[in-house]
Amino acid sequence: MEIKLKNKTKAALSTIAIALFLILIYAADNGMFSGSSWRMFITVIEKGAIFALVAASMNLLNGFTGLFSLGQAGFMLMGAYSYAIFTIPAASHDTVYQYFDGGIIKWSIVEILENKMGIAGHYLGIFLPMIFAGLLVAGVAYLIAIPVLRLKSDYLAIATLGFAEILRAFFQWNTLGPVTNGSNVLRKYTTYESAIFPVIIAGICIAIIFLLINSTYGRAFKAIRDDEIAAEAMGINLFKHKSMSFVISSFFAGISGALLAMFQTTISATPFTTQMTYEILLIVVIGGIGSISGSVIGAFLFTASAEWWLRGLDSGRWLGISSGIMRPGFRKVVFAILIMMIVLFYARGIMGDKEFSWDRFVNWWRSRPGAIKAWPDKLKANSEARKKARTAKAVAKAKAKEDKADSEKKKSSGIPLFTPLPMSDEVIIFDKEGN
Amino acid sequence: MDNRQVVLKLSDLTMQFGGVVAVDNLNLVLHKNEILGLIGPNGAGKTTAFNCITGVYEPTNGSIEINGEIVIENYPKGKMKEEYKGLNAGKYTKSLVMLPDKITKLGVARTFQNIRLFKGMTVLENVLVAMHMNQEESVFGATFRSRKARREEKAMRAEALELLEKVGLYENRDDLSTSLPYGKQRHLEIARALATHPTILLLDEPAAGMNPQESDELMKFIGEIRDKFDLSILMIEHHMQVIMGICEHIYVLNYGGQIADGTPAEIQSNPAVIEAYLGGDE
Amino acid sequence: MNLFNTWLPYILAGIAVGGQYALIAIGYTMVYGILRLINFAHGDIFMWSGLIMVYLITVLPLWLSVIVVVVFAILLGTTIERVAYRPLRSAPRMSIMISAIGVSYLLQNFALYITGGLTKTYPAIRFLQKTVAIGSATTKMVTIITPFLTILLVFLLVMLIKHTKIGMAMRAVSRDFETSSLMGIDINRVITVTFVIGCALAAIGSVLYFSNYTGINPMSGAMPGLKAFVAAVFGGIGSVPGAVLGAFVIGIAENIIKGTGWTTFSDAFTFVLLIIILMIKPTGLFGEKDIDKV
């Protein structure tokens, strides 16, 4: 039997899940757990959140509007630069722009606002350039949209790829050096301090994309994706809606670029290649074209595999297997093969075009092999069992107290401090990596 | 003659692709609340005429008037100037084009010969899409669910459900559009077209693939919606039974050209029409 | 005259690079003409041909190496078609494009693994590196040979397309995929032949192209690949002479831009050109307009 949860239950579950997630990140970020895995965990969370955002923005275009656009890396690049340029502290300009006489922008928004408003100004100083980065990218995207969106799907792919390349060349152009630092890296700009920041920003942005898709405009986008001619016959202005989707998608790509700049602490135009766009596209494919939650899951899986789980493949030892063929670069080969498998044999990706829902999650959880089928009954049974255990424990405790009183000096280890938790798979993985 | 208001008027409409004249000098008048038939053998240019009216193609020559206003007009230009094979080349001097979405906004809705529903959407969503163009709330307000957006969405849903009820698809509202049986898909296409609030409805072979009983029902249905929604209907159809049963006036095309027009009775006894159908490739 | 002498080296280099782009562009334009697919992996097949040459030259004589490189490229291309494109032929257009991107990603990453990310020195082929003087300019032999070799190969290809049975089949398939398969044309064979020709030419192109540069790395194929594709679009996708013309235009223009000191934008220029041509004449110079059926 399918279970349908109440809306309140779902809302509660979501709130709890998000809260737990944030607490976990906060705890890990503040060194409450030891071990290198936790540091890795934080890296994956940060990078995963950033890529989840850019993948969701790409999905909005490719999956929901049917525009095969490959300009995402270029827009991220632009977002990253426009954020970094305005937040380099005045004192650092001479060192950063050492080949360009300290550049022409001699101030930092963060510092200006900090002086005026203190700590609130600091955060506003990060937030405003980030939004500005998004808006600037959106503006450029609008200009690009005019010629590009008239093209048919495959030409659109190449033209957007081309624009990304033009942007890359533009930001490396020496003549613009006083602003962009030419082909040298930008560094020392203000970054976020807590891993919570990118997670929350990306989360909000993804939620907005999600809301957009489920509005009437989102329906119009999907109509264009399904059948342009029919959509037009329904009075939907193709150019208006396509450019809307393109501009909004670019805005979020710009924001994710700004976040990436903060994550990396230094930025240069070189890595924003077509390969990066391909990676974003592949995240979308892994998650499922047409599923925002799929993109999010895809992004975290992708970064976790690339940065963490498959890392051993590069250093000669992975899952206890060592081999000579595991040398630097092997990870990416395995990865690419996995992706090709997904593309060829599992083209729908993890989520297909469905979104995550608690109903589906609960039903999936119950339908997995070995699951407890009648869980309401079981739950009852469990709670009774727990009650019993509690009374038993209380009895034991009372007994122990007596025992303790009896043999005060004898330091026994009779009662375990914690009742042993059932080990889940994840815990085991963490343990292994931690060692 | 007919003194009802003219809602759609095609004058010397000609569509030439390269050297092929798909529609040749078509002159057609649709009156208010009329049901007009457009018939002819395969490849006679009927659908092409529809595509010109709805702005999908830019006609080579001629003009299209909707509710008394010329909205599309063209004359042979550039290379076409020499290649043009149609009539009245010098008569038109303006070049007016209008995109399909604008035509729809003027109150002209259509269905397609080979059903074009939005595959990834449910029946209800298919109808809701057609109401999007009347939405006033901006994308910003719609995304953040402003009060206006919520009100509009609610009204849209109510209207869409009412429409589905009228066309008999209410029970199927949450089914995927492509999972519907063929006949119902045709009904959904019509419902979707009606959702754009048209005054003129263009139906491209609505009875295609239907059995006699189904097409009888369709005939009745078309008559009903004409009255309920105050429509003027232009339809392409091959089922003679449907055409003869419902249309007040019929135009016959062959090889792009117009070979006859008149009442069903006149058409049935017209020798040119009989020749076209018997001697043609049908 | 002085002006001519200043610009001559750039123009010569442009013609040479143009010829090399042309050899890659043919693969794009033919595959697109028949499958309506941008073979994103084509540039990487080109790169791999170059890479294999680096390894082969250490064990084989030059002439044999070149032959093996061509055979390798053909095998690689046809295998990709069979494994990654054929199963998706009836899938939506986007799926097959994504598959092509996936293959490209795989080929690049595999090259990265093999080379360890280092730039490999492309073998110096003495005959191609020989210095020749034209007027006041000196240039390498490869610069002179490329355009002639390109024109010769293109001529042979056009003859093949025009006058042989398989050529006729190719033209038919590119015009109407479904009808031709109903007419009993062996579509799979036509597609395989298309990939064979495209990859063989890309392999020859790689020998000429990389002889101009000293190094080759896993990303060396991406840019020439994209440019060749733009050349194909410029000339009208599906048209072989169009692609060749487009390639020469791009090659020459790009080198002139380098001559004026705007090197940063020499790559970007290609895409500006692409966008301009698509806006003015979306079907390219020799492309045919196809009308959507409604």
* Same domain as B150, residue B88: no
Which chain A residues are closer than 8 Å to C110 by Cβ?
A: 333, 336
In a domain, C286, yes or no: no
Which chain C residues are closer than 8 Å to A274 by Cβ?
A: 222, 226
Tell whether B185 lies on the interface with C, counting CB pairs under 8 A: no
Q: How high is the mean pLDDT of chain A?
A: 81
Question: Which pLDDT value is given to residue B272?
Answer: 84
β-partners of residue C140 are: C131
Distance from CA of C267 to the nearest CA of A (A): 8
| Interatomic CA distance for residues C201 and C194, integer angstroms | 11
Which chain C residues are closer than 8 Å to A344 by Cβ?
A: 83-84, 87-88, 99
B101: nearest CB among A211, A216, A235: A235
pLDDT value at B281 more than 50: no
Question: What are the structural domains, with CATH classification, of chain A?
Answer: 7-367 (1.10.3470), 390-434 (no CATH)
Boundaries of domain holding C173: 2-280
Contact B83, B18 (CB under 8 A): yes
Tell whether A149 lies on the interface with B, counting CB pairs under 8 A: no
pLDDT value at A6 more than 60: yes
| Interatomic CA distance for residues B39 and B267, integer angstroms | 10
B·C CB contacts under 8 A: 5
Which chain A residues are closer than 8 Å to B152 by Cβ?
A: 216
* Same domain as B163, residue B90: no
Which of A85-94, A317-326, B99-108 comes out lowest in average pLDDT?
Answer: A317-326
* Same domain as B163, residue B277: no
Tokens of C147: 């355009």
Tell whether B201 lies on the interface with A, counting CB pairs under 8 A: no
Percent of chain C with pLDDT over 90: 25
Question: Which pLDDT value is given to residue B1?
Answer: 55
| CATH number, domain containing residue C205 | 1.10.3470
For A290, the closest chain B residue by CA position comes to: B120
Report the domain count for chain C: 1
A347: nearest CB among C95, C105, C267: C95
pLDDT value at A416 more than 70: no
Confidence of residue C114 (pLDDT cuts 50, 70, 90): confident
Neighbours of chain B (3+ CB pairs under 8 A): A, C
Neighbours of chain C (3+ CB pairs under 8 A): A, B
pLDDT value at A402 more than 70: no
| Inter-chain residue contact B139 with A225, CB threshold 8 Å | no
In a domain, C287, yes or no: no
Domain final residue, candidates B197, B212, B239: B197
| Inter-chain residue contact B99 with A237, CB threshold 8 Å | yes
As a whole number, mean pLDDT of residues B222-237 equals 92
Per the document, the length of chain C is 294
A211: nearest CB among B144, B153, B193: B144
**What is the CA angle A126-A128-A130, rounded to 5?**
70
Question: Which pLDDT value is given to residue A135?
Answer: 96
Distance from CA of A171 to the nearest CA of C (A): 10
B130: nearest CB among A225, A234, A237: A234
Report the domain count for chain B: 2
B132: nearest CB among A220, A225, A353: A220
Residue corresponding to tokens 């063209």: B74
For every residue of A79-135, DSSP letters joined together read HHHHHHHTTS-GGGHHHHTGGGTT-S----HHHHHHHHHTHHHHHHHHHHHHHHHHH
Which chain A residues are closer than 8 Å to B196 by Cβ?
A: 234-235
CB atoms within 10 A of CB C91: 14
For B195, the closest chain A residue by CA position comes to: A234
ipTM of the assembly?
0.90
Distance from CA of A390 to the nearest CA of C (A): 56
| Inter-chain residue contact A226 with B119, CB threshold 8 Å | yes
3-state secondary structure of B240: helix
| Inter-chain residue contact A237 with B101, CB threshold 8 Å | yes
C102: nearest CB among A173, A332, A343: A343
For every residue of chain C, DSSP letters joined together read -HHHHHHHHHHHHHHHHHHHHHHHHHHHHHHHHHH----TTHHHHHHHHHHHHHHHTTTS-HHHHHHHHHHHHHHHHHHHIIIIIGGGTTS-HHHHHHHHHHHHHHHHHHHHHHHTTPPEEPP--HHHH-EEEETTEEEEHHHHHHHHHHHHHHHHHHHHHHHSHHHHHHHHHHH-HHHHHHTT--HHHHHHHHHHHHHHHHHHHHHHHHHHSSEE-TTTTHHHHHHHHHHHHHH-TT-HHHHHHHHHHHHHHHHHHHHTT-GGGHHHHHHHHHHHHHHH-TT-SS----PPP-
Model confidence pLDDT, tens digit, residues A114-130:
888 888 888 888 899 99
In a domain, C12, yes or no: yes
Q: What are the C-alpha distances in Å from A66 to residues A22, A69, A221, B56?
A: 34, 9, 8, 20
| Inter-chain residue contact C291 with B17, CB threshold 8 Å | yes
Per the document, the length of chain B is 282
Which of A302-316, B119-133, C91-105 comes out lowest in average pLDDT?
Answer: A302-316
Percent of chain A with pLDDT over 70: 85
Question: Which pLDDT value is given to residue A327?
Answer: 74
Question: Which pLDDT value is given to residue A415?
Answer: 39
Contact C177, C32 (CB under 8 A): no
Contact C284, C247 (CB under 8 A): no
Per the document, the length of chain A is 435
Boundaries of domain holding B153: 116-197
**What is the CA angle C159-C163-C166, rounded to 5?**
100
* Same domain as B131, residue B160: yes
Confidence of residue A432 (pLDDT cuts 50, 70, 90): very low
Question: Which pLDDT value is given to residue A404?
Answer: 61
Model confidence pLDDT, tens digit, residues A12-51:
888 888 888 888 877 777 777 777 777 788 888 899 999 9
| Interatomic CA distance for residues C14 and C22, integer angstroms | 12
Model confidence pLDDT, tens digit, residues B114-151:
899 998 899 999 999 999 988 888 888 888 988 999 99
Question: Which pLDDT value is given to residue A241?
Answer: 94
pLDDT value at A2 more than 70: no
Counts for chain A of helices (H) and strands (E), in that order: 19, 4
Model confidence pLDDT, tens digit, residues B254-277:
888 888 888 888 888 888 888 877
Question: Which pLDDT value is given to residue C197?
Answer: 92
Which chain C residues are closer than 8 Å to A62 by Cβ?
A: 94
As a whole number, mean pLDDT of residues B84-104 equals 86
Question: Which pLDDT value is given to residue A405?
Answer: 59
Domain final residue, candidates B157, B175, B197: B197
| Interatomic CA distance for residues B27 and B5, integer angstroms | 17
Distance from CA of B113 to the nearest CA of C (A): 8
Which of A171-175, A205-209, C248-252 comes out lowest in average pLDDT?
Answer: A171-175
A·C CB contacts under 8 A: 136
Which of A294-303, B185-194, C271-280 comes out lowest in average pLDDT?
Answer: C271-280
| Interatomic CA distance for residues A123 and C91, integer angstroms | 48
Tell whether C144 lies on the interface with A, counting CB pairs under 8 A: no
Contact B16, B80 (CB under 8 A): yes
| Inter-chain residue contact C294 with B17, CB threshold 8 Å | no
| Inter-chain residue contact C113 with A173, CB threshold 8 Å | no
Domain final residue, candidates B197, B220, B239: B197
Question: Which pLDDT value is given to residue C290?
Answer: 53
Tell whether C104 lies on the interface with A, counting CB pairs under 8 A: yes
Tokens of A422: 């059932």
Question: Which pLDDT value is given to residue B53?
Answer: 93
pLDDT value at A291 more than 60: yes
| Inter-chain residue contact B47 with C294, CB threshold 8 Å | yes
For B56, the closest chain C residue by CA position comes to: C294
Distance from CA of B22 to the nearest CA of C (A): 13
Which chain A residues are closer than 8 Å to C274 by Cβ?
A: 158-159, 162
Model confidence pLDDT, tens digit, residues B29-46:
999 999 999 988 888 888
* Same domain as B203, residue B184: no
Model confidence pLDDT, tens digit, residues A347-367:
788 887 787 777 777 777 777
Model confidence pLDDT, tens digit, residues C33-47:
888 888 999 999 999
pLDDT value at A420 more than 60: no
Alpha helices in chain B (DSSP H): 46-53, 80-83, 100-105, 123-131, 139-143, 147-167, 182-194, 212-229, 240-246, 264-268, 271-279
Confidence of residue A219 (pLDDT cuts 50, 70, 90): very high
For C275, the closest chain A residue by CA position comes to: A159
**Residue C13, Cβ density class (10 Å: 0-12 exposed, 13-18 middle, ≥19 buried):** buried
CB atoms within 10 A of CB A164: 26
| Buried/exposed A314-330: b ≥16 CB within 10 Å, e otherwise | beeebeeeeeeebeebb
| Inter-chain residue contact B51 with C291, CB threshold 8 Å | no
pLDDT value at A418 more than 70: no
Q: Which one of A216, A224, A229, A236 makes the best mutation probe of the B interface by having the most chain B beta carbons within 10 Å?
A: A216
| Inter-chain residue contact A227 with B110, CB threshold 8 Å | no
Model confidence pLDDT, tens digit, residues B184-218:
899 999 999 999 999 999 999 988 888 888 888 88
| Interatomic CA distance for residues A2 and A362, integer angstroms | 9
Give A210's contacts (C-beta < 8 A, 6+ positions apart). Answer: A56, A292, A355
- Among B109, B42, B57, B49, smallest CA distance to B280 is for B42
* Same domain as B186, residue B47: no
**What is the CA angle A171-A174-A178, rounded to 5?**
85
Identify residue B246 by its one-letter amino acid code: I
Higher-confidence residue of A57 and B79: namely A57
Highest mean pLDDT of the ranges A130-144, A269-283, C166-180? A130-144
| CATH number, domain containing residue B260 | 3.40.50.300
As a whole number, mean pLDDT of residues A405-421 equals 43
Model confidence pLDDT, tens digit, residues A62-117:
999 999 999 999 999 999 999 998 888 888 878 888 888 777 787 788 888 888 88
Q: How high is the mean pLDDT of chain C?
A: 85
Which chain C residues are closer than 8 Å to B47 by Cβ?
A: 294
Contact B177, B123 (CB under 8 A): yes
Distance from CA of C235 to the nearest CA of B (A): 21
Contact C170, C162 (CB under 8 A): no
* Same domain as B217, residue B174: no
